[in-house]
Chain A
Amino acid sequence: MGHGLRTRLSQMPNDFETLETLGAEDEISLLEIMDHVLNSGVVIHGSLVISLAGVDLVYLGLNVVLTSVETALKHLQIEEKRRPR
């Protein structure tokens, strides 16, 4: 870690409370989720396959995405607290 080499999380931690303490740099790792999840994976030609044209919008603004990821996480936190395991 001391060399500026950072390994990112591959998935969201199960303890959503830890997310509240993440700094601005860590939010970018959430953006990386979008990097890997969107525009990848097998397109299965089922009876209903969704066009990804709208994803272009994501490229328009890094800040917009970060804000929306932040909002999404807050939604998730609330959701998780409502759902005891």
Chain B
Amino acid sequence: MANSNRKIAAGGAIYLYGISESPAATGAKKPAKLGSVGIDGVHPVQPLPCGDFLCWVCEVDQASFADAVERNMENLEWLALHGVRHQQVVGEVAEQMTIVPARFGTVFSGEPALLKDVQGRKTALKKVFARVAGGDEWGVKVFAARKVSAVAMTEAKSGKEYLQQKAARLKKRPERNDQELQELATALGKIATHSAPSGKVSGAQPNLLWQATFLVPRGKRRQWDQALKNFVERWDGQRRIEVNGPWPPYSFVSDAE
């Protein structure tokens, strides 16, 4: 091969997972090779040096991947498979070094376009790194503890009746924004450095009363867990708390746009 150092084929389209700071610039260890499969299931994931940054990328085929992304965004099976692959890589990088995740589905026509764009937003990216370094994203959900009555569902004689019953049940739900939920939000907000609304995809989960996403400094994990436990004990039997994480800081990077 004329140019064996070149890992991305000339003219190859590039999928971007996210951006880290260059180990050369921060004095950090060089990242270990990732075990995760590439976004297309074929090409390897690579760290692409870009000035002060390191872009986590995977070559993709222009016709079968890049040109089809937009259409595939409406294909739930495609979305689920590739969403999981995206998270595998971003999660694996986050275990080694800070990563600012790119929006799922970001594809560049080639290496020059990617490098130019990333270097053009250097100042904004540096601000975001300063914010998310040393922190993890956590999702918190509060559910009403009581179960939806399965009996009521089977009693409905028609689709219309079922929907009426469902609407009546929803009305009887505890207040979604009551004092106690606000107390939880305040308690968690004091420990977290940032918070964001969360979870549109799972927003339809039954009995979900409240949910939010937080950026929590790793050094405050104990306080964070304790604050959650306090509410779990206080709401015992009435409300159930679900916590998911740690995640890469997906929800706290949008101002680098």
Contact = CB atoms under 8 A, between A and B. Distances in A.
Residue from the set B106, B113, B228 with the largest chain A CB neighbour count within 10 Å: B106
Interface in A52-73: 52-55, 57-59, 61-62, 64-65, 68-69, 71-73
Interface stretch (B24-32, B155-163, B180-188, B196-204): B196-204
Interface stretch (B96-104, B146-154, B164-172): B96-104
Interface residues on A, range: 35 or more
A31 B202 contact: yes
B107 A48 contact: yes
A36 B70 contact: no
B103 A68 contact: no
Given A8-B243, A50-B106, A72-B84, A43 B200 contact: no
Given A32-B202, A34-B80, A69-B84, A4 B102 contact: no
A37 B250 contact: yes
B38 to A, nearest CB: 11
B241 interface: yes
A41 interface: yes
Interface residues of B, number: 74
Contacts of B199: 32, 35
Contact of B83 (A33, A64, A71): A33
Nearest to B121: A44
A8 to B, nearest CB: 4
Contacts of A31: 201-202
Contacts of B85: 76
Given A34-B201, A69-B84, A83-B37, A10 B246 contact: yes
Given A47-B113, A52-B104, A71-B77, 18 more contacts: A3-B233, A12-B88, A30-B80, A33-B83, A35-B199, A35-B202, A36-B213, A37-B250, A40-B103, A40-B254, A41-B102, A42-B257, A43-B257, A49-B106, A50-B107, A52-B103, A75-B81, A83-B37
